Structure 1
Amino acid sequence: MRFDIITVLPGLLESPFAHSILQRAQKKGVCEIVVHNLRDYANNKHKSVDDYPYGGGSGMVMQIEPFAACIEQLQEARKYDEVIFMTPDGTTLNQTIANNLSTKGNLMVLCGHYKGIDQRIRDVFVTRELSIGDYVLSGGELPAAVLVDAVVRLVPGVLSDETSALSDSFQGGLLDAPVYTRPADWRGNKVPDVLLSGNEGAIHAWRDEQALARTKERRPDLLDE
């Protein structure tokens, strides 16, 4: 799987992609993450990629030409399953979308900044628009990192225990059950006896009950769906 990420702030993505699961995925050769500096495609000596909005108003808008030049150059090299724009007015990212994207081969991700990007880039090139929540950040870099992490961990060969992702919250439409590890008794707070019983059937039943109870309490909307 390959991610090509277009951003005006490539340094902001260095740390998320250089640690933990994303680092291991790249070292294993399971995933390739390439960050492209949008300023390299600017057509002016100052390498600026934004301009004032038509019609007036506050803020600056990212220009068409740098994005178009970068996107078209990348598309000459390979076919992309999706060209994704991270934006607050996109579809909210969820586990179902992450599962779907994890089956793809090549994904391109556009990171906006300033007031946003020229609508014509969205109209001509973008195939999917995603949000990570109903709030606004300074740019699309952190949402892009969230997207990549959510997707890559689902790719076979990334996690040491490939069944681990299957029991995550939201995979079965429910939140995950509580989890415990050693010590079995910490300051009088004990691990539920069933988890120490060795009875796999009872343990699975307990986890199912706890997952349902936690979902009813915290995210009843998931049950409505």
Structure 2
Amino acid sequence: MQAPDHEPAKCDNASNATNASNATNASNASNEATPSVAHPLLSVDHWKHTKACTNNERRETQTQYYVRMNADPAVVELVSLDSKPFGSVSELILAELFQMAPRTSSQHDGVFEGHKCEIKCARRWAGKDDCRWQHLEPEHDYTFAMLAILEFHEWKVWCVTKAQLMGELREKKVVTFQGKQGWWTLKSAIMPYLTPIHGLECLRKFVSTIPK
């Protein structure tokens, strides 16, 4: 019997293992590239039409409100901060603008002509000419409060003595209890009791009426 022209190919175990590994890797890559199919109930195509989602889309944020009202970019940048950094930066800005001396303790934000000042800053609520000044502390060491709201192109500032703020205005419930975070008040409620401050001379005139 004549021998075959060539030997039959032998099974190469190493080659087969490599091919199997490559096939597995290709399959895994294909699976990773294919997004998982969400349950129809939980799919974005379903829940984006819920009332909760559509109502949220229509609710204008504070920052969007300022942008829509053509606020200065520096104002928008400040408005977009979270509450704590907004308050901290704003207090520093106003203390610098009104040339206050550094505070002597953590219970006030600056000293103006010998009077310790507590500065509270707020932003307009979206779509409203109103805000809330909060964290007003009756036990803290200050003689007057400076209440400011960041408008679209400027600060608007008012002052009130601590004696009136924590006396008459608490009795009239214009200033109300906030809980563990002190007391608070609405701009719309307290406005009749405030003295507007347009500059340094206004502030000097206001503090000159406060007994030392």
TM over 0.5: no
Higher relative contact order (CA 8 A, sep 6+): 1
TM-score, length-scaled by structure 2: 0.18
TM-score, length-scaled by structure 1: 0.17
